[in-house]
Amino acid sequence: MEKTGVVRLAKVLRLLVTITFLCNLVALILVPGLVGMYSPHGVLELYRYETGRIFWEFLTYWIWVWQAENTAALTLFLLFCGSCTAVLLWQGRRLLGSIIEESPFSRANARNMRRAAVCCFLIALAALLRMVWGFFYYGAIFPLFTYNALFIPIFTMAGLLCMVMSALFRQAAELKEENDLTI
């Protein structure tokens, strides 16, 4: 059987999603060190003087980053959102796999989309909590002008879109099952 353009596109997309998933896992491992570099007197300050020890200093931030409230909150937020993003990418990979197998209308895809929606809503909730925490921690309104304020509506709408897609996949799977029984 000849492969359609949709299947070829799904294979390319699945490869790209897999690469992104692996990069996401690497980024999750690096989050505490990167937060340490972001903070005042981070690794970049030490790098000027001791170029041979940069790796070890980077590793020390895995412990140090939890000692200050703001760096701990940022690290927790990024780890949580990164984990949710990994789940989102994995669900997308599973969905693309079913398209490659030419069985896109299944209950499994409806469940995958529902899981993706839950992850989107969790990211939006985490961004809202971090923004509210920022109001109290900094005593100012500038958290409204950060990426957290953008995450809330973007991921809420993405979650709603995934819920709609989940309902469509579920209904299509039911119609397909009904159609298969009617001969």
* pLDDT on residue 109: 94
| Long-range CB contact pairs, 66-73, < 8 A, 24+ | 68/39, 69/137, 70/39, 70/137, 71/35, 71/36, 71/38, 71/39, 73/130, 73/133, 73/137
CA 64 to chain CA centroid, Å, is 25
| pLDDT in the model for residue 52 | 62
Cα distance between residue 52 and residue 4, in whole Å? 53
Structure pTM?
Answer: 0.85
Q: Within 13 Å and on the Cβ side, how many CA atoms surround 121?
A: 11
Exposed, middle or buried, 154 (CB in 10 Å: 0-12/13-18/19+)? middle
Contact 120, 112 (CB under 8 A): no
For residues 117 and 162, the answer to whether their CB atoms sit within 8 Å is yes
Contact 132, 93 (CB under 8 A): no
Which pLDDT does position 4 carry in this prediction?
A: 83
What is the reported pLDDT for 92?
95
Average pLDDT of each block of 10 consecutive residues along the chain (183 residues)?
Answer: 80 97 94 78 55 68 83 92 97 95 91 97 97 91 90 97 96 89 75
pLDDT score, position 171:
95
